[in-house]
Amino acid sequence: MCENNYSLYATAKTLSCEQKEKNVFLLAIQVSSKIVPTPGQFYLLRAKKTGVLLSRPISVYHAQFANPANEFVRVEFLILKKGIGTAELCDLSEDDEIDVLGPVGNSFPSPKIVSDFSGRSNIQNPTVAIIGGGIGIAPVAGFAATLPAKTYDFYAGFKSGSYGLDYVDPKTLYVTTDDGSVGIKGMLPEVISVRSIQQKGYSDVYACGPEPLLEYVHTICKQAKVQCWLSLEKRMACGVGACLGCSIATKEGNKRCCKDGPVFNGSILEFPISAPKKSVLAVNKSKNSADIDLSCNIAGVQLENPVIAASGTFGYGTEYSDVIDVNRLGGICSKGLTLEARSGNTGVRLHETPSGLINSIGLENPGIPHFIEHELPLMQSLTPVTIINLSGSSIDTYVEGAQLLDKAVKANINSQTIIELNISCPNVKAGGMSFGLDPKIAAEVTTEVRKATTLPLMVKLSPNAPDLVGVAMAVRKAGADAISLVNTFQSMAIDVEKGIPVFDNITAGLAGPAIRPIAVRMVYDVCKAMNSLPENERIPIIGLGGIRTWQDALEFIMAGATAVQVGTATFAEPDCMIKIVDGLYSYMQRKGFSSLSDFRGCVIH
């Protein structure tokens, strides 16, 4: 009978976390366990207070029992602070809790010659070479510490400085740094080669580091006819061999990096392990930063930058004027407006969900006549382009609303204003999304509104449409000057204590970071279809859905979007749109881009 004790998964306590080099930290934890990891194994680590879903696989640097009863293990890790997950681990303080799964993975096999070194000293010719590059120093240093002193040579390569050498005691230590700050200036090939392996008579080589280094070690060992053991790194989810997300191709078929590795016999490996994708971006670093132009054009209307406050999240712009400099935005979309005033939906209107927000506001608004008299002048007084979100319960109300807006906007000859035709709101029982699910009906309402106004007309589409590309092409043909997508996803939440739906309307609209990858794909699909048309028949696409950072905005632009709208993220971080504008500028400056067109749609083939 199999006995399950689930000892691999536990909550550990942080003992200390100290910075060793610029972005390298030494994390020490104490975990309740009777298992001490062996060299080469790793743990999946995730801070208890975290913003990430997946734990991060981190190799063991050093481990030992922490008490005489062998009930607790002290484990040390060297961590490169790189992304959100590792940043959280590097920011841990004493007594912070951390989720751990481990130790998992296999270990470095002991060299046969080690048994002959027991009790000996002054070894003339160590037959083991251990090689670590950058953060890859951790597992091989941990392995080296288990070997008798002076029985191996140790090679360590860094960009700058050095770390991870506390427990090694080699016959000879070779250190290289790219900048020459420690040891020999250069990279590891400066100190180890086919010739040096043969001259020193190594029988085994152990290595961990970036893939180019491992490929180099693999090559020289093969040429020198020497056995090598390589510790690989791969993105992981489960860490126990269940999900197959970390599989690599070998001469013996696919192997799981977490379960069959991370240490592999070099003879079964083929490089490159992961073929790098070549960049399609033409970088010109000679460009002067003064030449950077963030502006974009939507249906003849010029925006200073591509960042627009999305409808329903920013009021009419003035609400946030005491919080951020709203005049730095490219455009501001008004709250959704209908011909008549609306009080919106009853009951719960907001429900937070992991990485998202479900809303059931129900288009509460003062009505278009009130907006024209009170809110429109305030919006037009701001620098960003005014975008009026128009909704309705019938085609007639859409048309009448468009006529009123057309007349009011044209009374201000200096105003640059766009109408955003909302046929995608999921939170109303009549109108809204019902007009945007079918290409024929979407085209019909677009045609009638197009007749009612000569203002630039942008149509906002729903991701819930069965044929989103079909709807997009239909409204383009019907007279849309631009398209914005996607609006919220129809969703649901249930109060499990009461056993009833959270929202009175049962369903509501999901927004926030959770929808972004799907929204990017939908924007890509529509932009790709648009690019199949003759250039003079294409219209711009404005992308939205879960944008929080400048990197998120870049994804939409690279998928083909002319501009982006930011909504839910503003609630959590009111200045996020300003940061996006600054981030786009810095990115373009770093890459040498002069305009958004240098990379817009670069992933479309």
Q: Which residues are catalytic?
A: 425
In whole angstroms, how large is the CA radius of gyration of the chain? Answer: 30
d(CA 478, CA 446): 6
CA distances from 209 to 135, 137, 192, 206, 263 (A): 7, 7, 15, 11, 12
CA 170, chain centre distance (Å): 41
3-class secondary-structure state, position 389: strand
Angstrom distances, CA of residue 451 to CA of 330, 389, 393, 454: 27, 17, 18, 8
Query: Does the CA dihedral 446-385-289-582 come out positive or negative?
Result: negative
C-alpha pair distances (Å), 73 with each of 98, 123, 332:
14, 33, 56
Burial of 136 (0-12, 13-18, 19+ CB in 10 A): buried
What is the per-residue burial (b if ≥16 Cβ within 10 Å, else e) of 248-284?
Answer: bebeeeebbbbbbbbbbebeebebebeeeeeeeeeee
Residue 237, both tokens: 């989810």
Round to whole Å and give the CA distance between 370 and 337.
10
For residue 561, the one-letter residue type is A
What span, in angstroms and rounded, lies between the C-alpha atoms of 463 and 349? Answer: 21
In eight-state DSSP terms, residue 109 is P
Asked if 319 contacts 308 with a C-beta cutoff of 8 angstroms, the reply is: no
- Which residue type sits at 480? A
d(CA 101, CA 57): 9
